[in-house]
Amino acid sequence: MRKLRNSELGRISVEEFKNADKTPIIVVLDNIRSLNNVGSVFRTSDAFLIEKIYLCGITATPPNKEIHKTALGSTESVAWEYVEDTLTLVEKLKAEGVQVLSIEQAENSTMLDTFSVVPNQKYAVVFGNEVKGVQQDVVSASNVCIEIPQLGTKHSLNISVSCGVVLWDLFCKLRG
């Protein structure tokens, strides 16, 4: 077995990315304080052809040297927009027929591994602040709360790790 060279990876250009059929997922970052986490979410969103990222509240926006360090240029491929208030955005998305999924540990949450997607449905996944999580009013306004099953002692994943797990799972379910 031989590792592939970068030239063998079949990478598409930024223009090809922008013109490609996107996975019907929108990522919403609710008051993310770490610029490295923001950059990682951009990079993961690029990998799975995510439709758009909304940066809300205190979440920093490109161009930013610290975001760029982990995003590796994906801020140029993935569409993004800044919206000050997450709850206002969630209500707007719901009015447009988007199913809003808050990724949070909550009463009556649905475990990610048992969550079933609906064909032709667009989803928005909301990831919250590294300490406080998704705001309660946003959780309350969401269609569903999705929880990542965790069996260890911490029951806490970094937001960039949570994003990778959730996007991969939904990508497989939507594209599979």
What are the structural domains, with CATH classification, of the chain? 13-175 (3.40.1280.10)
- What is the Cβ-side half-sphere exposure of residue 107, based on CA atoms within 13 angstroms? 2
* 54 pLDDT above the threshold of 80: yes
Three-state secondary structure call for residue 134:
coil
* 176 pLDDT above the threshold of 80: no
pLDDT, mean of residues 120-128: 97
pLDDT, mean of residues 15-44: 98
Asked if 43 and 71 touch (Cβ cutoff 8 Å), the reply is yes
Mean predicted lDDT score pLDDT of the chain: 97
Nearest to 98 by CA among 163, 54, 55, 62: 54
Tens of pLDDT, residues 142-157: 999 999 999 999 999 9
